[in-house]
Amino acid sequence: MKKPYFGRLLTAMVTPFNADGSINYEAGADFADWLLANGSDGLVVEGSTGEAATMDMDEKIKFMQNIVARVNGRAKIVAGAGTNCTASTIDLVKKMEACGVDGVLVVGPYYNKPTQEGYYQHFAAVAKATKLPIIVYNVPGRTGGNIAPETVARLAADFSNIVAIKEAAGNVAQTAELYRVLPENFSIYSGDDGLILPFLSVGACGLISVLANVNGNILQQLMQAYSEGRVKDAADLNKVMVPLAKAMFIESNPIPIKAAVTKVTGIEAGAPRLPLTPISAAAEAKLDAALKAAGMIK
């Protein structure tokens, strides 16, 4: 495995909320500390798992400044900075740059459903507007469109600060094609915990993870085993990890993972903001069963 640009395991961290729905900034900083002590090489802050879609700009800036100050250079911080408007994305990227982040995660514009040329022009405009390294985020299940490997390759060739992709199309063949067409120094991150092992086998070099909010160590162990050629050990770890990863998606992300963070870490993550709702009793029972089976709660 080659060395990933931002580290092997980036956690798409949740944003803790108080009981009244306001952001708990102190808990957020404490949680960043916990993540770095429990397997995370770096943090993706204010992505979809962090509920950026329901945070206003003042909250985004204050929360990011808070995390950057607490981490204080100990790990890379990547800001979720994508919107479905190119001008708004550029504005957000510049604000995140001013907060002192190390890079930005920019999702393919959602709802608009651009052509491949539209995707190219969107990311090109963002790349021209910042010096920060950019991770392209391809997640067709949330955006309604797929960024083709040839478009990513074109962006990588034309812009030196487009350095990685978070590939969450759930398609091993597409990941293999990305590896074929992209430069050797371009980092392919899996965007799906449950697919990290097959993605590694076709060229991915790291993971941007939801599960790492509560168990980064198993993911690190799995990737380490694979990188050392201990494929059976990696497969055995995968057998334990996949049910956990699935449990984090029994309802829409981040509903289950926020509940899991509170149960596992002791840091109160709070309920998600509307339109997401707190975890249902039936889903919570399944989540608890998965966490107990893995020995993460009693």
pLDDT tens, 100-111? Answer: 999 999 999 999
**CA Rg value for the chain:** 18
| Per-residue pLDDT at 3 | 83
Structure confidence at residue 1 (pLDDT): 58
Of these residues, 5, 60, 120, 166, which one is catalytic? 166
pLDDT tens digits, one per residue of 121-133: 999 999 999 999 9
Tokens 């995660």, located at residue: 105
Query: Does the active-site annotation cover 292?
Result: no
CA–CA distance, 150 with 162 (Å, rounded to integer):
14
Nearest to 166 by CA among 42, 28, 250: 42
271 Cβ contact list (under 8 Å, min separation 6): 17, 21, 258, 277, 278
18, 53 contact by CB (below 8 A): no
In order of 39, 44, 176, 258, 268, the CA distances from 213 in angstroms are 9, 11, 27, 9, 13
pTM for the predicted model, two decimal places: 0.96
What's residue 275's pLDDT? 97
Cβ within 8 Å of residue 277, ≥6 positions away = 255, 271
pLDDT digits (tens, 9 = 90+) for 56-101: 999 999 999 999 999 999 999 999 999 999 999 999 999 999 999 9
Are 198 and 172 contacting, i.e. CB atoms less than 8 angstroms apart? yes
137 is catalytic: yes
What ranges in 130-230 are assigned the alpha helix state H?
140-143, 149-158, 172-181, 196-201, 212-227
Query: Active-site residue among 5, 119, 120, 137?
Result: 137
Q: What parts of the chain have a pLDDT lower than 70?
A: 1
d(CA 178, CA 186): 10
Locate 182 and state its tokens: 């992209």
